[in-house]
Amino acid sequence: MSSPTPIARSSGILLHLTSLPGPFGIGDLGPGARQWLDSLAAARQRWWQVLPVVPTGYGDSPYQSPSTFAGNLNFLSPEVLAAEGLVSATDVTACELPAGPIHYAAVIAAKKQLLALAYARFRAGAAAALRVPFQSFCDQEAAWLNDYALFVAIKDHMGGRPWWQWPQSLAQRDPDALRTIREKLAEAIETYRFGQFLFFRQWTQLRAEAHQRGIRLLGDIPIYVADDSADVWAHPELFLLDENRRPLFVAGVPPDYFSRTGQLWGNPVYDWNAHRRTVYRWWVARLQATLRWVDLVRIDHFRGIEAYWAVPAGDATAENGRWVPGPREELLEALRTALGQLPVVAEDLGFITPEVDELRERFHLPGMRVLQFAFGGEVEARFLPHRYSRNLLVTTGTHDNDTTRGWFEKLTAEERGAYEAYVPEATRDPVWALIRTGWASVADVAVAPLQDVLELGSEARLNTPGVASGNWVWRASEAQITDRTWIDRLAEYTQVYER
């Protein structure tokens, strides 16, 4: 197997789209995103790392989505819709919400109302130039779009209940029942299809503007999909389910740094034999779809491809799971055959065995190193920079970590001593010392969350694994994303370390 062209030495910032500033209660694909691209370019960055941009589900998590193919309609920009003649200035003003942490219930309600208004105007004749592109989009994306739009329309009709609590005829996808409900919910279904068209249109425009500034997008695929998803409902044969289409086993990880009882994610695990029989067609389509949004994909929990932690359904914790062999090289060979060079970063964190390393290295996939794990918490020697190879992405912390400021303040005296001995600058400048260490390393790509370049504390943490509420709500202000202090300093580091 020939080695692909390595990723050029470069750097970037991790900032989830939700965290962008703006007047509508959540980050979106409008002016705030373009302002952010300007800041990235001024800081000489070449990557914008985002978390999954799919719809969110339980706990507002982008890793518990009702679809692996759909876009999150909360990211639709009211200003862009107004510019295209789909909503009025009054409609835009009605969407405005207070600054500060995200209040998801208010955001979802406002954006749903805005989409309904946009579709009503479109049906009445507004934005006539979008009619042909909309139909083309619906034709091209029919394989997932029709099931997804039907799924969310039924879910709304059922008061938000999960699909297994729907009438059996709908839960089991009886053809006659589906035909009847499609007719009954036709307008809602078409509204959701139109919403997906608008999302793809806005995202494509933003990605093009990123490329114009020399910035590429690093995206994210959660290895699993949510139980309450169009994917499981429409394709139960791809998952290990019982006769009632309920999971036999659910996903998670054994006890680790983040949780003493393990992490019980609750996602249904795949029936890999079923995927094998289709030559992994669903996975190929999944990666192809994501690569229309981003230039490089991080596969979250890559180790689950080699072996996954299967927990009996109904267990209260992940402690009683067991390791089960995954699809391993078969899946990666199928993806490589379909896509050619694999534009994939393997998130190889957690319990990593030599077999996981061998699988990643065989396909020449960049792995990940988290600098916080070199000095504090569950310390591992492989995270020390002097052990790095080039084919890596190094980051100060991921979306699951505390901010570096918060992490440093919680270090024990022994851990702090080890960090300061390795990085003497840490004594007086602990956050930027860790950033500089990543930028100076041999790893091909270096990344830091925006919270770290802003030197924010634990109040700006995005997610705490194992904690059900209060996550995914942090937002930056316009002043923070345009602050020349961090922009100029990061630009200097990037130039000095040839990124």
pLDDT per position as a tens digit, 225-235: 999 999 999 99
Rounded to the nearest 10°, the torsion over CA 294, 220, 53, 159 is 150
d(CA 293, CA 202): 11
- Residue 302, both tokens: 């890559």
Average pLDDT value over all residues in the chain: 96
Percentage of the chain lying above the pLDDT 90 cut? 93
pLDDT higher than 60, residue 1 = no
Q: How far apart are the first and last CA of the chain?
A: 28
Domain range list for the chain: 10-496
Catalytic residue among 147, 400, 402, 444: 400
Q: What is the mean pLDDT of residues 191-211?
A: 98
pLDDT higher than 50, residue 2 = no
Task: Label residue 48 left, alpha or beta by phi (over 0 means left) and psi (-120 to 50 means alpha).
Answer: beta
Give pLDDT tens digits for 95-111: 999 999 999 999 999 99
Q: What is the mean pLDDT of residues 245-253?
A: 96
Q: What is the mean pLDDT of residues 208-231?
A: 97
Domain 10-496 has CATH 3.20.20.80: yes
Residue with tokens 């949004």: 293
d(CA 198, CA 123): 14
Pairing of strands 307-312, 322-325: antiparallel
- Please, which pLDDT band fits residue 258 given cuts at 50, 70 and 90? low
What does the DSSP 8-state code read for residue 383?
G
- Please, which pLDDT band fits residue 126 given cuts at 50, 70 and 90? very high
Percentage of the chain lying above the pLDDT 70 cut? 98
Catalytic residue among 227, 347, 348, 452: 347
The pLDDT assigned to 58 comes to 83
Is 400 a catalytic site residue? yes
The pLDDT assigned to 183 comes to 98
| Weakest-pLDDT range from 14-18, 27-31, 132-136, 339-343 | 339-343
Return phi, psi of residue 118, to 5°: -65, -45
Catalytic residue among 79, 228, 300, 452: 300
* Amino acid symbol at 431: V
Residues contacting 77, CB < 8 A, separation 6+? 28, 29, 30, 31, 33, 202
pLDDT higher than 60, residue 253 = yes
Give pLDDT tens digits for 165-185: 999 999 999 999 999 999 999
What does the DSSP 8-state code read for residue 7?
P
Is 300 a catalytic site residue? yes
pLDDT higher than 90, residue 362 = yes
What's the farthest any 2 CA atoms get from each other in the chain? 70
Give pLDDT tens digits for 40-90: 999 999 999 999 999 998 889 999 999 999 999 999 999 999 999 999 999
The pLDDT assigned to 257 comes to 66
The pLDDT assigned to 351 comes to 87
Strands (E), 357-423: 367-370, 392-395
Q: Give me the residues paired with residue 54 across strands.
A: none
Is 243 a catalytic site residue? no
d(CA 331, CA 223): 12
Question: Smallest Cα–Cα separation from 224: which of 64, 365, 440, 355?
Answer: 64
